[in-house]
Structures are given as C-alpha cells and as structure tokens.
C-alpha cells in the first residue's frame, strides 16, 4: 500500500482486474467440463442448467448456496492465514472436527441456560477445540522442528478417531460408549440433538436452515483482513511468511508468530465446526467430517489467500456444491464432474502464465501465490 504514487489504475480498477483471472479460469474450467461431459454422451447444457437452478434457482437454492459457503469461508481463512506466515495447514479438517465435538458437548449440556449465553458458550467451546488442535502443530514446530504438514495430517486422523469415539455406541463388544453418545439412539453412534437454546437463530423459512453464522462469517472476514493488513502482528506474520531471515534479522518473535498463526488458523477452523453444529446439523455424528477441510485449501488458493477473495471463492464452491445434486437429478451426470471443474479452476488460477498465454495479457497483472518456500526443517 506504500507505493500510491504508482502509475497503476485506481483501487476499483485494480479490484476489477484482479477478478479477471479467476473469472477467466472459471469459464475455461466450465468449458473443459462441458467438453468432457459431451464426450461421454452427457448433455452439458442440461447439466449446467440444473447446476444453476440448484444453486441460484429459487430462495431455497440460494439459501443452500449461502449455507454451504459459510464453513468454506472459515476453513479457507484458516488455511490462508497459515499461508501468510509460510505455514501449510492441512489440518483444517481435524481442527474443524475438534470444534464440532467441543461445541456439541456444550450444546447438549446446560439445560435452562438463556439462549444468547448458551450459544456464545458453545461457540467459545468450538474456538477452544480448534485452538488446541492448531496449537499442537505450532508448538511442535517451534520446539522440536516437527514439520506442520506431517503433524497436521496425522492430527486429522487422530481427530477423526477421537471424535468418533466421543459418540461411539459401544457396539456389542461390551465396550463402554463414548461420553457424548445418545443412549436413545440404540446402536447408533451419534450425539443427542443439541438443546434449543444452543442453536443459532435462523432467518427466513426455518426449513432453509439459513443461520446467523453467515453474519458471523462476514464479520470474521473483516476482522482477519484487519488483523493481517492493519496490525503489527499481521505485519509480523506476513514478514515471517515472505522472508524468514529478514524477520529474524529485524528482531521479530518468529517462534511466537508461528504459534500465534497456527492458533488463529485452528480457531477459524474450529469456529467453522461449531457453527455447522449449532446452525445446520444440531448434533454430531462421525460422518460429519466431510470435505470441508481439504476444500479450505482450494478455497484459500483460489481466493489468492486474501480474505475478500476467499469470500468469492467460497461462494463459487458453495454454489457448485449446492447445485451438484440438482444437476445430477436433471441430467444424470455424475457429481464427480464438479470436482474436476474445481480442480481445473484451481489449476488455471494457480498458473496465471497459462491464462496469460491464452488471452495474451500482460505479465504484471497477476501476483503469483507462493507458499512452498519453508517446506522442511524447523523454523524456530
């Protein structure tokens, strides 16, 4: 922001130009997807029409898109914040799960607590759950040099098993059931429904499950933007990410920054889990892990690791997820094509040279996202 005397176009112009690449990438990806469908005897037009109506066709569809967008915003931010410090957080999935479990635990307890307090407490629990799971890789990296990629991958598996155990029905093996298991669910491994007082308020038709987490998500986006670009700690995070040596030379607290960043990343993913539980699922079952952690990586990259970019990327992915079922219903096309399209979008966004060659644009218009410079070795 320092070089305002630059002869580059104004703020709005720059914003529009920064949209050029993702939009081009999306269009090309959709086109390739269409060719693939056509080659297999599917009708791409019917498929895309179904995709559109499933994502935006009516109020329910739109609500679905927004609802799917919320966790992606959080996990996308979680991955992006880590990227800013040169850390690769593959662990959003695990942090998400720990947030889910913690929020469930609070959500099913404390009958009679007033709603605002109960919701806040449950959200806080989610924050703590994610925080713990984010701090472990941060601390291990700083104190032992263990690489966060490995630790977070392993913690994902551990979190999935731990979360599964909390609602484990015990089977017929005579094992004791998990602490959050719902005894009225008989042999089923799931928690009881969370209490009414712990549920997030719903907007519009309650059947849409469009919850107040949307507002929270947008607020958090602004907060993270402020944290990264407007505060000292944000500056430290970015400096550590861009140039570790320079950060050390400047006397920055590198170790502390790494731990802090992983903590924030964990909190964001944990919050996603809490909001999904309190707003959408209202209970926890082991299969509620989903793709959301891994999708966070893609969303973060597609959003060029910028908070506002992430909102747009999450919106796109939310829409693709929301419309997929309708697409299959209308056209019979397997939903996996969505994954292919998502990968292509990512590929084209990540390789601007590719798009540039296609459209003969000038080189300076795009920044190349760089995150892989601190692979391996301890930074602490």
Partner 1 sequence: MRPHRVWKATAIVGWVLALALVALAILVNTTALGERTWLRVLFGVSALNFTLRAAIPLILGAMSGILCERSGIINIGIEGMMLAGAFAAFVAKTNTNDWPLTTSLLFSTLVAVGIGGIMGLLHATFSIRFRMDQIISGTVIIILAAGISAYLFDRDAVAEGKFAPIAIPLLSQIPVIGPVLFAKPLLTYLALILVALLHVGLFYTRWGLRTRAVGEHPRAADTVGIPVNRYRYMNTTLGGMVAGLAGGYLVLEAVGQFQEGMTAGRGFISLAAMIFGNWNPFGAMGASVLFGYTQALQNELLLAGVKTVPRHFISMLPYLVTIVVVSGFVGRVRPPAAEGKVYETEGGE
Partner 2 sequence: MSRKRLFFLMALLTLLALVLAACPAPAAPTAPAQEQEAAAPAEEAAEPLAEFKVGLVTDVGRINDRSFNQSAWEGVLLGAEQLGLPEDNVKYIETVDSKDYADNIQQFIDAGYDVIVTVGFALGDATVEAAKANPGVYFIGVDQFQAEALPNVAGLIFHEDQAGFLAGVLAAHLSETDIIAAVLGTDLVPPVVAFKEGYENGARYIKPDITTISTYHPGGLDVAFTDPEWGAATARQALDQGADVIFGAGGITGNGALQEVAAAAQAGQRVYCIGVDTDQWYTLPAAQPCLVSSAMKLITPAVADLIGMAFQGEFPGGNYYGEVGLAPFHDFEDDVPQEVKDQLQEIKQGLLEGTIDTGYNP
**Footprint on this chain of partner 2 (rule: CB under 8 A):** 27-28, 30-36, 39-41, 43-46, 48-49, 51-52, 54, 60, 64, 160, 164, 168-169, 171-173, 186-189, 207, 276, 280-281, 285-291, 321, 324-326, 328-329, 332, 334-335, 340, 344, 347, 354, 357-359
Paired strand residues for 211:
202
Q: Select 312 or 345, whichever has its Cβ closest to partner 1.
A: 345
- The CB-of-246 to partner 1 minimum distance in angstroms stands at 15
Alpha-carbon distance values, 257 to 78, 269, 352 (Å): 15, 18, 31
Task: Report the residue number, 168 or 260, with the smaller CB distance to partner 1.
Answer: 168
By CB under 8 A, residue 120 contacts partner 1: no
As a whole number of angstroms, the distance between CA 246 and CA 243 comes to: 5
Of 129-158, binders to partner 1 (CB under 8 A) are 140, 144-147, 149-151, 153-155, 157-158
Concatenated DSSP letters for 173-218? TTPPPPTT--GGGTT---PPPPPGGGSPPEESSGGG-EETHHHHHH
Q: Exposed, middle or buried, 174 (CB in 10 Å: 0-12/13-18/19+)?
A: exposed
Q: How far is CA 342 from the centre of its chain?
A: 15
Binding partner of residue 34 among partner 2, partner 1, none, CB cut-off 5 to 8 Å per kind: partner 2
By the 8 A CB rule, do 346 and 298 touch? yes
Q: Does residue 162 interact with partner 1 by CB under 8 A?
A: yes
Minimum separation from the CB atom of position 12 to partner 2 (A): 24
156/274 Cα distance (integer angstroms): 17
For residues 89 and 270, give the distance between their C-alpha atoms in angstroms, rounded to a whole number: 13
Residue 129 or 138 with smaller CB distance to partner 1: 138
Helix-strand-coil split of the chain, %, nearest 5: 70, 0, 30
Nearest distance, CB of residue 33 and partner 1, angstroms: 10
Build a one-symbol-per-residue string for 317-356: x at contacts with partner 1 by CB under 8 A, - elsewhere: -----------------x-xxxxxxxxx-xx--xx-xx--
Q: Are 254 and 244 in contact (CB under 8 A)?
A: yes
Contact flag: residue 169 with partner 1 (CB under 8 A): no
Q: How far is the CB of 332 from partner 2 (least distance, A)?
A: 8
CB 84 within 8 A of CB 238: yes
Site residues (vs partner 1, CB under 8 A): 36, 40, 88, 90, 140, 144-147, 149-151, 153-155, 157-158, 161-162, 164-165, 168, 173-176, 178, 297-298, 301, 334, 336-344, 346-347, 350-351, 353-354, 368-373, 375-378
């Amino acid at each position: 922001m320092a070089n305002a005397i630059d002869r580059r176009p104004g703020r709005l112009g720059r914003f529009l130009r920064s949209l050029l690449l993702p939009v081009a990438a999306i269009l090309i990806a959709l086109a390739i997807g269409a060719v693939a469908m056509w080659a297999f005897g599917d009708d791409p037009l019917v498929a895309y029409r179904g995709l559109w109506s499933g994502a935006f066709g009516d109020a329910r569809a739109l609500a679905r898109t927004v609802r799917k967008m919320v966790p992606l915003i959080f996990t996308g931010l979680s991955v992006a914040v880590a990227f800013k410090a040169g850390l690769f957080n593959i662990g959003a999935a695990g942090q998400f799960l720990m947030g889910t479990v913690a929020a469930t635990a609070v959500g099913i307890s404390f009958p009679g607590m007033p709603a605002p307090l109960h919701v806040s407490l449950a959200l806080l629990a989610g924050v703590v759950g994610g925080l713990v799971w984010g701090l472990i890789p941060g601390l291990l990296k700083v104190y032992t040099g263990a690489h966060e990629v490995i630790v977070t991958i392993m913690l994902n598996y551990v979190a999935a098993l731990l979360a599964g155990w909390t609602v484990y029905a015990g089977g017929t093996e005579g094992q004791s059931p998990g602490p959050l298991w719902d005894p009225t669910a008989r042999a089923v491994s799931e928690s009881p429904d969370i209490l009414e007082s712990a549920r997030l308020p719903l907007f519009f038709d309650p059947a849409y499950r469009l919850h107040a987490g949307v507002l929270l998500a947008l607020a958090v986006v602004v907060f993270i933007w402020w944290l990264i670009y407007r505060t000292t700690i944000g500056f430290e995070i970015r400096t550590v990410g861009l140039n570790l040596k320079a950060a050390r030379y400047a006397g920055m607290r590198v170790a502390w920054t790494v731990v802090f960043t992983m903590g924030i990343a964990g909190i964001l993913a944990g919050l996603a889990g809490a909001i999904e539980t309190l707003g959408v699922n209202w209970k926890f079952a082991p299969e509620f892990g989903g793709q959301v952690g891994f999708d966070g990586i893609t969303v973060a990259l597609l959003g060029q690791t910028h908070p506002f970019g992430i909102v747009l990327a999450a919106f796109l992915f939310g829409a693709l997820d929301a419309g997929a079922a309708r697409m299959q219903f209308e056209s019979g096309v397997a939903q996996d094509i969505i994954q292919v399209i998502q990968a292509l979008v990512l590929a084209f966004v990540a390789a601007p040279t590719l798009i540039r060659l296609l459209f003969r644009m000038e080189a300076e218009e795009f920044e190349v996202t760089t995150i892989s410079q601190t692979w391996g070795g301890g930074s602490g």
